[in-house]
């Protein structure tokens, strides 16, 4: 079997104003695979540049083809995101070729359904936060998170560039945690995401104040570039730290894991290098008893690639679900049931990724100037 073509079509998630970069790989055996690359400047162009590198190759040589696509690129970026999209499509082809789901090719599955956590959205007031918390729990989720850095009154962080969180900001975040616990109790898992916003001392200060409220994780307290700083935060607080969504490849996670600077890792499958690269990260993390809770904000295609991976690793805890509030999210795949049901995604048992793209629905949401692949 040989790869004959790679095509790329960009849809627009107008709800979040984000591109969904879908990839399709074609073979001379008539099998096709569908994948998705994490969006960003130049990603579609990178997919099309990589096309000539894989045409004529055996689509089952997945690991070697990824190395071929990303070698000589020792930094992250569009090229690795594009290679991730092609890699996911190659797994889809491999599953169809070997007549099994992708998880079988990864060593088999540990679980039949994947527990997801919802991203709760809220307004500014504590009443809104209580209401949003109750709503996600009513939808059946047993875990959720809030972004806490987007809702500051300006006096809480006078200057976002110096990463200093004012005492009023700390009190505000603690009040959010208290409100959530009063609304949903302590049996629901609850995290907070602050997108690398703080300096080390302020991160530690707010996390120590949050200990009472038993957060399951505090996400990205400090910048992703400095493992030593993350380790310093980690050693000075009992609140678990989750990080990793913007890192690339096993090497990008190596020091974080080996120094045990974080408690939960959140690689993003269509960003980090694909399904197998995430499998490698999971294996290294598992040697340190560190769990994975993958970042997941793309379309249902990348989501279901993540589901295959999460089914096949021992140290999976939770998968993020972010985009399923897009009104046509479920419609993008040919299926009769919603993708997320009562806080879980059932692992599909169909061939490859176990999904079929709804071409008519995809065509409706093409970004301006785009054409849908064949
Ligand atoms: Mg995040």
Give me ligand 1 centre to Cα 248, in Å: 15
d(CA 310, CA 318): 9
Active-site residue (options: 122, 271, 295, 365): 295
d(CA 147, CA 117): 13
In the 8-state DSSP scheme, what is residue 222? S
Give me ligand 1 centre to Cα 94, in Å: 31
Active site residue 15: no
Least Cα distance to 106 among 308, 350, 303, 346 occurs for: 308
Q: Which residues of the chain form CATH 3.20.20.120?
A: 105-346
> 322-358 burial string, b = 16+ CB within 10 Å, else e?
bbbebebbbbbbeeeeebbeebbbebbeebbbbbebb
- Domain 3-100+358-364 CATH superfamily: Enolase-like, N-terminal domain (3.30.390.10)
In the 8-state DSSP scheme, what is residue 13? E
Structure pTM? 0.97
Query: Out of 3.20.20.120, 3.40.50.2000, 3.40.50.720, 1.10.3720.10, which CATH number does the structure's domain 105-346 have?
Result: 3.20.20.120
Token output for 337? 């049931």
Token output for 100? 């099994």
Give me ligand 1 centre to Cα 103, in Å: 26
Q: Check if the beta carbon of residue 304 is closer than 8 Å to that of residue 332.
A: no
Give me ligand 1 centre to Cα 244, in Å: 8
pLDDT tens string for the chain (374 positions)? 999 999 999 999 998 899 999 999 999 999 999 999 999 999 999 999 999 999 999 999 999 999 999 987 766 799 999 999 999 999 999 999 999 999 999 999 999 999 999 998 777 789 999 999 999 999 999 999 999 887 667 777 778 788 999 999 999 999 999 999 999 999 999 999 999 999 999 999 999 999 999 999 999 999 999 999 999 999 999 999 999 999 999 999 999 999 999 999 999 999 999 999 999 999 999 999 999 999 999 999 999 999 999 999 999 999 999 999 999 999 999 998 999 999 999 999 999 999 999 999 999 999 999 999 98
Give me ligand 1 centre to Cα 356, in Å: 28
Give me ligand 1 centre to Cα 119, in Å: 10
> 56-95 burial string, b = 16+ CB within 10 Å, else e?
eeebbebeebbeebbeeeeebebbbbbbbbbbbbbbbbbb
Q: Which residues of the chain form CATH 3.30.390.10?
A: 3-100+358-364
Give me ligand 1 centre to Cα 242, in Å: 9
**Partner residues linked to 36 by β-bridges:** 22
Give me ligand 1 centre to Cα 34, in Å: 26
**What is the number of other CB atoms lying within 10 angstroms of the CB of residue 320?**
26
Least Cα distance to 151 among 185, 175, 183, 181 occurs for: 175
- Specify the DSSP element, H or E, that contains 47: helix 43-54
Least Cα distance to 264 among 241, 248, 281 occurs for: 241
In the 8-state DSSP scheme, what is residue 54? H
Give me ligand 1 centre to Cα 336, in Å: 30
Active site residue 150: no
d(CA 108, CA 103): 5
CA angle 48, 50, 52 (to 5 degrees): 90
């Amino acid at each position: 079997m040989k790869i004959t073509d790679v095509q790329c079509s960009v849809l627009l998630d107008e709800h979040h104003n984000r591109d969904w970069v879908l990839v399709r790989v074609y073979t001379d055996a008539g099998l096709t695979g569908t994948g998705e690359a994490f969006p960003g400047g130049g990603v579609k162009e990178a997919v099309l540049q990589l096309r000539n590198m894989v045409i004529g190759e055996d689509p089952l040589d997945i690991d070697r083809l990824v190395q071929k696509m990303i070698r000589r690129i020792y930094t992250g970026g569009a090229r690795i995101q594009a290679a991730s999209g092609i890699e996911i499509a190659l797994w889809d082809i491999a599953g169809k070729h070997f007549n099994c789901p992708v998880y079988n090719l990864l060593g088999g599955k540990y679980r039949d359904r994947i527990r997801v956590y919802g991203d709760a959205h809220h307004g500014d007031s504590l009443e809104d936060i209580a209401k949003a918390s109750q709503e996600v729990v009513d939808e059946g989720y047993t875990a959720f998170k809030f972004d806490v850095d987007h809702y500051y009154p300006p006096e809480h962080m006078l200057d976002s560039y110096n990463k200093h969180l004012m005492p009023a900001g700390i009190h505000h975040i603690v009040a959010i945690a208290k409100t959530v616990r009063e609304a949903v109790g302590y049996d629901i898992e609850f995290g907070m995401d602050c997108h690398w916003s703080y300096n080390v001392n302020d991160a530690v200060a707010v996390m120590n104040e949050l200990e009472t409220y038993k957060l399951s994780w505090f996400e990205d307290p400090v910048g992703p570039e400095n493992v030593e700083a993350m380790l310093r935060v980690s050693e000075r607080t009992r609140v678990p730290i989750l990080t990793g969504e913007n890192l690339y490849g096993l090497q990008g996670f190596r020091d974080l894991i080996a120094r045990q600077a974080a408690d939960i890792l959140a690689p993003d499958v269509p960003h980090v290098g694909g399904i197998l690269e995430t499998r490698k990260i999971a294996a290294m993390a598992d040697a340190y008893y560190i769990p994975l809770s993958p970042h997941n904000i793309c379309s249902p295609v990348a989501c279901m690639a993540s589901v295959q991976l999460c089914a096949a690793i021992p140290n999976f805890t939770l998968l993020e679900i972010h985009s399923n509030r897009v009104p046509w999210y479920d419609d993008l795949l040919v299926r009769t049931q919603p993708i997320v049901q009562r806080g879980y995604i059932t692992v599909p048992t169909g061939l490859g990724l176990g999904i079929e793209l709804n071409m008519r629905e995809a065509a409706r949401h093409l970004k301006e100037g785009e054409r849908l692949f064949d």
